Structure 1
Amino acid sequence: MPFGEQPAYLRVAGDLRQKIVEGVLPPHTRLPSQARIREEYGVSDTVALEARKVLMAEGLVEGRSGSGTYVREQPVPRRIARAGYRTGVGATPFRQEQADERVKGTWESSSEREEAGPAVASRLRIQVGDRVMRTRYLFRAEGEPSMLSTSWEPLDLTGRTPVMLPEEGPLAGRGVVERMAAIDVIVDNVVEEVGARPGLAEEAMALGGVPGHAVLVISRTYFAGGRPVETADVVTLADRHRVAYHLPVH
């Protein structure tokens, strides 16, 4: 194939994609059948099938059992604002990650002691097998699932203290900075890495997405004097969110 020339299935997928984006094929419209694609574009059944697979993998269409393939309604992305960290009443981590303070956010959580695996041990700079407190969250915005988060804190730091459980006790839900300050640990630095990967089936189920579609992962670690005191992975559907950084210039 000459350089720059696309395979036939990508050309067909590209034309159908353009029709979807331009509204020629609006949301909830049935995608042309495989036979119709074959006839309209003069391609084989295999090419027509592969073109439909491309659109499905891109999240532009979805199959409905016994009915066919339909154009998906694309959500309007919410902004996840990253602009530093503050303390105070109402300054929960979830609230700080919302660009619109008017959006009502709620969450569910569960905490459990476990032994640190290699990845978590490396991020917290502890030994594999050391005890950590793992907390899992499901955040909702306006009642709809918005993001997942899993955090880990070393129990040699927080164990047998009032802040051992992030969502219980006198500082429940107040955030890492404020909770650590209560045990004289002063958080002075936060590192975040943003990446993307295919979503796991259980993540898609929890967030109302499609397995395999891309998710954004914000890997965040809080430091106090160079020591990691908490690390977390925040997971959200890539087609529903945009990460917006507002960074001060010193």
Structure 2
Amino acid sequence: MADSTPAGYQRVADAFRERITDGTWPPGHRLPSRAQLGAEFGGGENVIRKAQETLIAEGLLEGRPGAGTYVRAPRTRLHMQRCPAPGTPPVPLAPPGISTWDAHSTAKTPAPADIAARLDIAAGEPCVRTEYEFLDTARQPVMTAISWEPMAITGGTVVVLPDGGPLAGRSVIDRMAHLDITVTRAAERPRAVQVDRDQAQKLGVPAGTLAILIERTFFDATDRPVETADLLVPADRWDIDYNIPLTAPPA
């Protein structure tokens, strides 16, 4: 018979969770040192550390480098609308709830094999790679994106860099329209992932945090891919809404 007794760190994590839930430890409360917690809850430093890491991954605690571990204040969930209904404006570059964002573009970046397949170009063809970081109204990171555009389409034009030129900061749809290219559809593939250390640092979350990765590709009127991007959003911050138009069956 399997042993149903919870591991030491799980028992301590349950006790921490109860104190947060009942308000004994309110938002912003700084936890005592690991030595103090170990003496109170019974467990070595490794047990306390793992219990804290468990609750950090759940979004209940947050570690502040050099300052200790604190009860995390509840954050308002943000809503990202995908597939807008007919007649509504296209999806903006930044969804509601974003107060500011930063972008950094690098031209002549060789397309990796997976990106090249999504853009229907040869691996290694030059692209403009743009990294985006989005902040909420509290200026906390809540989303990142990495975009790829073939330079065969935008190279030598004033819109070659998404973060530069007369249309800097405008959507892919607007920038392609400047080149008389009409974006007619977008294909998206969302999937659950755990963020790696580099992604975690940019999003301000622990490594291994659950997130949603949206692989999005824009197509023009000839069904040619003109841009592809990976949008990464922490699962505990976002609700992703899909509004899918349906065609009525013939009478």
Superposition pairs for residues 75-90 of structure 1, below 5 Å? Answer: 75-84=75-84
> Is the contact made by 1:150 and 1:232 (CA closer than 8 Å) also made in structure 2?
yes
**Cα gap change, 1:159 to 1:106, in 2 (>3 Å):** same
> Is the contact made by 1:92 and 1:173 (CA closer than 8 Å) also made in structure 2?
no
Q: CA deviation at 1:151?
A: 0.7
**Percent identity of equivalent pairs:** 37
- Which residue of structure 1 lines up, in the alignment, with residue 174 of structure 2? 178
Aligned-partner residue type, residue 233 of structure 1: D
Superposition pairs for residues 194-209 of structure 1, below 5 Å? Answer: 194-209=190-205
- Which residue of structure 1 lines up, in the alignment, with residue 137 of structure 2? 142
1:112 pairs, out of 107, 112, 122, with 107
Count of matched residue positions in the alignment of Structure 1 and Structure 2 = 245
**Cα gap change, 1:2 to 1:111, in 2 (>3 Å):** same
- Which residue of structure 1 lines up, in the alignment, with residue 209 of structure 2? 213
> Is the contact made by 2:217 and 2:226 (CA closer than 8 Å) also made in structure 1?
yes
Q: Secondary structure at the match of 1:93?
A: coil
C-alpha separation in 2, matches of 1:105 and 1:44: 43
Q: CA deviation at 1:76?
A: 2.0
Aligned-partner residue type, residue 114 of structure 2: A
- Which residue of structure 1 lines up, in the alignment, with residue 228 of structure 2? 231
Superposition pairs for residues 61-100 of structure 1, below 5 Å? Answer: 61-63=61-63, 68-84=68-84, 92-94=92-94, 97-98=95-96
Q: CA deviation at 1:220?
A: 0.9
- Please list every run of 5 or more consecutive structure 2 residues that lacks an aligned counterpart in the other structure: none
C-alpha separation in 2, matches of 1:141 and 1:47: 34
> Is the contact made by 1:198 and 1:213 (CA closer than 8 Å) also made in structure 2?
yes
1:126 pairs, out of 115, 121, 125, with 121
> Is the contact made by 2:93 and 2:171 (CA closer than 8 Å) also made in structure 1?
yes
Q: CA deviation at 1:68?
A: 4.9
C-alpha separation in 2, matches of 1:52 and 1:106: 31
Q: CA deviation at 1:45?
A: 6.6
Q: CA deviation at 1:38?
A: 5.7
Cα RMSD (Å): 3.5
- Which residue of structure 2 lines up, in the alignment, with residue 188 of structure 1? 184
TM-score normalised over the length of structure 2: 0.76
TM-score normalised over the length of structure 1: 0.76
Q: CA deviation at 1:231?
A: 0.2
- Please list every run of 5 or more consecutive structure 1 residues that lacks an aligned counterpart in the other structure: none
